[in-house]
Amino acid sequence: MKKLINQVDNVVDEMLEGMVAAYPQYVKRLEGLEVLVRAGGSQGKVALVSGGGSGHEPAHGGFVGKGMLDGAVAGAVFTSPTPDQVFEAIKAANGGKGVLLVIKNYTGDVMNFEMAADMAADEGIEVAQVVVADDVAVENSTWTTGRRGIAGTIFVHKLAGACAEAGGDLAEVKRIAEKVIANVRSMGMAVDACTVPAAGKPSFDLADDEIEIGIGIHGEPGVNREKIGTVNDISDKLLDKILAEGIYNSGDEVAVLVNGMGGTPLMELMIANKHVHDVLAGKGIKIAKTIVGNYMTSLDMEGFSITLLKVDDELKKLLNAPADTPAFVQV
């Protein structure tokens, strides 16, 4: 295993310290905890808290800042944070207007975030929650009951965060988050697996001419292994499954996220994005906004995912609202 780390047991701690050192204007760390919150606090608005296992960087700490998250909780690599950690994040992020928890649909995350919400409620903090389940590859998995939450979570952070920043109350911010969840779908693939530092070996093996279609973000293999084709062919397979959901039709407008899994060159992501644009144009689907890059990764996995979000005027306004975070800046 080749990893640019010091000690396996210290990777999350040192990563968080490095983020704070790089972006002190955005984030601060709660002492003794794997929690990042806004450096300037979040008074007078609904707070958004998200998180999950580490290894998905820049998610989730990279999205703490104006227009997106108020707190991010980092578990061990690909491991849910504990309820106590999430509870401390809720308390620290709470600005007096309530807290919305944005949870990816993985069994450990859902259970631990819900326990933390109960703990916060006992302290008199108003907490609501939403669960993102945008992955069309599988209906259930060893990690989930129901669909997995993957890169579509970034759109929930962005649009619900914009609503909170604009002064929406907790019920309104939750409504926007649920509207995004209802209209967002994703699917991913891998050319090569990731290596979890503690495991020391790839999470699955692929021959030089093989790819995995339908991978998750925790190093789990996909639903289909096949010979590698062109990026256009691969993108078609992902798009076909997404479009088969029946919620994206001619005349609709969508936001597109072509998300790198951590080890894919930007050149290749841009080539995939070109084909996504061509296919959607051919189907009469308009593109309101495009985002390309590494946003919800799986360590050093080579591959990408495609996410579509159907938008109307309300969602477009929030999509285009300003944001200022370490990993997402929009003026």
Calpha distance 60→296 (Å, rounded):
8
Active-site residue, from 56, 60, 157, 275: 56
275 counts as catalytic: no
Phi first, then psi, for residue 114 (nearest 5°) are: -65, -40
Q: Give Cα 288 to chain centroid, integer Å.
A: 20
Q: Please answer whether residues 328 and 158 qualify as being in contact, where contact means their C-beta atoms are separated by less than 8 angstroms.
A: yes
* Nearest by Cα to 201 from 305, 108, 300: 300
Calpha distance 301→218 (Å, rounded):
10
Q: What is the CA radius of gyration of the chain?
A: 19
Calpha distance 3→145 (Å, rounded):
33
**Rounded to the nearest 5 degrees, what angle is found at the Cα of 292, between the Cα atoms of 289 and 293?**
150
- Reading the block at residue 290, the tokens are 């495009």
Angstrom CA distances, 154 to 63, 96, 189, stand at 9, 25, 18
Query: Which DSSP letter does residue 63 get?
Result: G
Angstrom CA distances, 220 to 98, 207, 272, 277, 284, stand at 35, 16, 22, 28, 34
Amino acid letter at 237?
K
Active-site residue, from 60, 157, 218, 275: 218
Which residue shows structure tokens 């050319």? 191
Query: Which DSSP letter does residue 41 get?
Result: -
Calpha distance 122→87 (Å, rounded):
11
218 counts as catalytic: yes
Q: Please answer whether residues 187 and 223 qualify as being in contact, where contact means their C-beta atoms are separated by less than 8 angstroms.
A: no
- Reading the block at residue 276, the tokens are 């996504």
Angstrom CA distances, 276 to 183, 242, 251, 271, 282, stand at 18, 12, 16, 9, 10
Q: Which residues are catalytic?
A: 56, 218
